[in-house]
Chain A
Amino acid sequence: NAGVTQTPKFQVLKTGQSMTLQCAQDMNHNSMYWYRQDPGMGLRLIYYSASEGTTDKGEVPNGYNVSRLNKREFSLRLESAAPSQTSVYFCASSEASGGPDTQYFGPGTRLTVL
């Protein structure tokens, strides 16, 4: 099992460009999440999907859109990138069945917006 995979690993954009970050999990998890992490900061939730067909805003959704394509895949789109969106983006998934609700993270996408 690959767990949670993310593409691309690195990306450089110019201000105003758009791009989609891809995430897939092979653990048959119900819930998926997108976080951003800035230097010296914790993980801030952008959007999450509690189950296939649903998405909800997290703490910092402005400037982003998401699509839960199917149970495996959850993509994050930046329509018009801004330098403030320079960050490391992590996708995660969990069973969301109660208890610790352990989240499994992908390796991250390092995005720079010039």
Chain B
Amino acid sequence: GQSLEQPSEVTAVEGAIVQINCTYQTSGFYGLSWYQQHDGGAPTFLSYNALDGLEETGRFSSFLSRSDSYGYLLLQELQMKDSASYFCAVREGGKLIFGQGTELSVKP
């Protein structure tokens, strides 16, 4: 089966850069996804990496190293609205397995 590990919480200040790490163990790898969830809301898709390297989408970037079974989500120019939980996820057959989530708190 699959398992994912990510830090439970991270705190950063507005305008800073923060990195949320995710390590995974899989029996077969199809890519690493990231989802964002604001308190009380539904998770929404942020990014996906199937190959090694960095994918950039605006202020958010996601990195993958398949040889290290490791990825991270990088958030730049942090804003208060980025305070949320961030989940990494990997595919297993026809379903996604989610990590337990990292709660990001952005302070003024």
Contact = CB atoms under 8 A, between A and B. Distances in A.
Contact of B45 (A40, A98, A103): A103
Chain A binding surface, main DSSP class: loop
Nearest to B34: A100
B94 A43 contact: no
Nearest to B42: A105
Contacts of B45: 100, 102-104
B101 A45 contact: no
Contact of B96 (A56, A99, A101): A101
Question: Interface residues of A toward B: which range?
Answer: 20 to 34
Nearest to A49: B94
Interface of B: 8, 30-31, 33, 35, 41-45, 48, 50, 87, 91, 94-101
A44 B91 CA distance: 14
B20 to A, nearest CB: 14
B22 to A, nearest CB: 12
B100 A42 contact: yes
Contact of A56 (B31, B87, B94, B100): B94
A74 to B, nearest CB: 13
B31 A100 contact: yes
Contacts of A107: 41-42
Interface in A88-111: 90, 92, 96, 98-108
B43 A99 contact: no
A108 B99 contact: no
Contacts of A92: 43
